[in-house]
Amino acid sequence: MKLNRREALALGAGALFISLTPFRGGALANTADEEIKAFTGGADVVEDNIVTLTAPEIAENGNTVPITISVDSPMTADNYVKRVRILADGNPRSAVATMHFSPMSGTAEANTRMRLAKTQNVIAIAELSDGTFHMSKAEVKVTIGGCGG
């Protein structure tokens, strides 16, 4: 098959468009709702004060936003935090980190830094040993040089 110049350019433009479009099949783009459903297996998530998410209200640099997650749990063999998933609902890939805990952890608390593409919600979901899921949200306003939002 011979392609003329016009057909070759059209084929190249089509390939470029497809390569820049987020793949919704799972490899390139995930929404926060999809990630929550995958993490919880479709179970109900309770937004209450069991999970505490501490993040700055305004982040002057979205490249390194500090956050702290703590879960109120006795961390005994019968009642402990299994894992915590951190999501950023405005990032192209919403899943940021998953932290695993056990009764030997002593406390369910973690500190990390994350990159935020724009002003958005940061979400922390904790799975407890009894199979329940608890959530906390915090909006972080990302500014550019302290002048945006």
User: What pLDDT score does 103 carry?
Assistant: 95
Question: CATH for 30-142?
Answer: 2.60.40.2470
Residue ranges of domains in the chain: 30-142
pLDDT at 26: 44
Q: At 139, give phi and psi (nearest 5°).
A: -85, 135
* 83 neighbors 126 (Cβ within 8 angstroms): yes
Q: What is residue 93's DSSP assignment?
A: B
Kindly give the confidence (pLDDT) of every residue in the chain, 149 residues in length, as a single tens digit, with 9 standing for 90 and above.
Answer: 787 888 777 777 777 666 665 544 444 457 899 999 999 999 999 999 999 999 999 998 899 999 999 999 999 999 999 999 999 999 988 999 999 999 999 999 999 999 998 999 999 999 999 999 999 999 999 987 544 55
Cβ burial 8-42 (10 Å sphere, 16+ → b, else e): eeeeeeeeeeeeeeeeeeeeeebebeebbeebbee
141 with 119: CB under 8 angstroms? yes
Which residue type, as a one-letter code, is found at position 113? Answer: R
Is the model's pTM score more than 0.75? Answer: yes
